[in-house]
Structure 1
Amino acid sequence: MAWSTRELAELAGTTVRSVRLYHERGLLEEPDRRPNGYKQYEVRHLLSLLRIRRLSELGVPLSKIDVVREGDSSSPETLRALDAELAASIERQVKARSAIAAILSDGGPVDVPEGFEAVASRLSSADSSLVHLYGRLYTQEAMSDLRRMVESDGSTLVGDELDALPPDADDGTRQRLADQLTPEIARHLASHPWLTSPGARLSTSEGAAREMFADAVVELYNPAQLDVLQRASRAAHETLGLDPGSTPSS
């Protein structure tokens, strides 16, 4: 019995294009041709193609299929490396499913920073953007602390009012909001002393972190909001007897 390329592909559950690719890579032997020039595949070609397909389904790269198929001495190492890649892929997928479930449950934005899905509703657009940047500046341990800070924050009413604060807000309104935010900031500074000396928790230089943070807050918050945050931060530092300039997030 002999089959055409199309028939062989259908029997193996693949495509003509894949069969041609396997020929190009030297994985599948070229068959004899009929007098009219058409290829005629036999059972041995089908079996070879099925084995190639099986290894491909397991995730073996085309460049490694011959090594694994022929039982080369490096074959076990190739399979162990593939297994490690699959394990990492499964872990990423499990994390992604967990994140999606949290987003759907909480109704937060889809692009919420990783690890903050369950508290997305507590973050304003500016806060969420800042957390994205923090993810590039701080270690995972520091990001875990930041997530706990968001989780422990009290009423979101102050945050909502700060989000809606117009650029020309009067001084009295600014000071009132700063006074309301001060205890919360002071509590975070007291609970997480590394905030006043973040060097060990940074994945970049402290100078670069300060520069990125300074540029970001100017773009993300309007002048009145920035003024409120600066007043509250200074007051919180003073309450704890700390240098107001001791942390890039001050």
Structure 2
Amino acid sequence: MLSSELAELAGVTVRTLRHYHQIGLLPEPPRSAGGYRNYDVGHLVRLLRITRMTALGVPLSALPAVLDDPAAAEELLDELDRQAAADIERLTARRVGIAALRRSGAPPDLPPELSAWRSAPAAGIPADMARYEHEQLILLGHLLGNDGPAGAAALFGTANDVMATSAPLTARFYALAPDTPDDEVASLIDELVAHLKPVMARLAVLSPLDAQALALIDELNELTLRPVQHRVLRRVQQRLARPDVRQLGQQHRAVPHA
């Protein structure tokens, strides 16, 4: 049979046949007087074996060693089964994350564990501050590492109480402008410090972040916030007992996403 006929019977392409010849998986048959490859049923059977094993996940590089060695094939199947189990676990975790995002209404680029710390869409906060909250939570979720967001969420249980009590402070922070009176700025700093101290105490059990992580958070604050807002955050950080990402990052949700 011709290569096109063999490919059609096996459910592959002629290009695949040529590739298998090139890497030595499928022996090349003799050519006819007209220069065409002349395949027989033996080639079809070997090709069916190859396609069956690749469908199971056997890499092409492993096929030469296992096609004609039952013992090697058994060991490879054990490894494939372990890989499949890991893939199932990874995909199950992905579905859990997708479900959590759907329940919270959070966008897919945000860690589900931190989605509750966003301001509600109906909160009426300025668009630039909503974007700041979102970007800060994304950065914070990454800097906390794989288990950090879940650990923070477990410590708080729910963000609702913290968010409810911080809403007035958040509004005042977002309203800061170059012409805000100094006494209002000083008063807000005092109240933020008082509000954040117990929050920081709960987060103190989490591992602190390194200097680079803190610098990145501060850079985002400086890039996004008004100068007076950035100064307020810096002053609050200085007055809190433990100046790390929880003060720069959880000032994020406990206040404005200050």
Normalised to the residue count of structure 1, the TM-score between the two structures is: 0.75
- Summarize the alignment of residues 1-250 of structure 1 with structure 2, pairs less than 5 Å apart: 2=1, 4-71=2-69, 74-113=72-111, 115-117=113-115, 124-148=130-154, 149=156, 151-152=158-159, 153-155=162-164, 157-158=167-168, 161=171, 164-165=174-175, 167-168=177-178, 170-171=180-181, 174-175=185-186, 177-178=188-189, 181-194=192-205, 198-199=207-208, 202=209, 206-234=210-238, 237=240, 242=241, 245=243, 247-250=244-247
Residues 215 and 249 (structure 1), Cα distance of their counterparts in 2 relative to 1, 3 Å cut: farther
1:248 Cα deviation from its structure 2 partner = 4.4
Counterpart AA for 1:5: S
- What secondary structure, in the 3-state scheme, does the structure 1 residue paired with 2:163 have? coil
Q: Distance in 2 between matches of 1:30 and 1:83?
A: 32
Greater Cα shift, 23-32 or 111-120 = 111-120
1:77 Cα deviation from its structure 2 partner = 4.0
* Alpha carbons 2:152, 2:203 under 8 Å: kept: no
Deviations along 1:223-247, one digit per CA (max 9) or x if unpaired, are 2332343444455x3xxxx3x54x3
Counterpart AA for 2:203: H
Residues 207 and 234 (structure 1), Cα distance of their counterparts in 2 relative to 1, 3 Å cut: closer
Greater Cα shift, 106-115 or 150-159 = 150-159
* Alpha carbons 1:31, 1:41 under 8 Å: kept: yes
Greater Cα shift, 107-116 or 155-164 = 155-164
Residues 117 and 137 (structure 1), Cα distance of their counterparts in 2 relative to 1, 3 Å cut: closer
What percentage of residue pairs aligned between the two structures are identical?
30
Q: Distance in 1 between matches of 2:151 and 2:179?
A: 32
Deviations along 1:186-219, one digit per CA (max 9) or x if unpaired, are 2221222236xx44xx4xxx33333333323222
Residues 158 and 175 (structure 1), Cα distance of their counterparts in 2 relative to 1, 3 Å cut: farther
1:105 Cα deviation from its structure 2 partner = 3.4
Residues 66 and 162 (structure 1), Cα distance of their counterparts in 2 relative to 1, 3 Å cut: farther
* Alpha carbons 1:162, 1:225 under 8 Å: kept: no
Q: Distance in 2 between matches of 1:188 and 1:94?
A: 33
Residues 181 and 166 (structure 1), Cα distance of their counterparts in 2 relative to 1, 3 Å cut: closer
Q: CA RMSD in A?
A: 3.3
* Alpha carbons 1:5, 1:39 under 8 Å: kept: yes
Residues 97 and 158 (structure 1), Cα distance of their counterparts in 2 relative to 1, 3 Å cut: farther
1:159 Cα deviation from its structure 2 partner = 7.4
Which segments of 5 or more consecutive residues in structure 1 lack a partner in the other structure?
none
Greater Cα shift, 44-53 or 100-109 = 100-109
Counterpart AA for 1:37: G
- What secondary structure, in the 3-state scheme, does the structure 2 residue paired with 1:40 have? coil
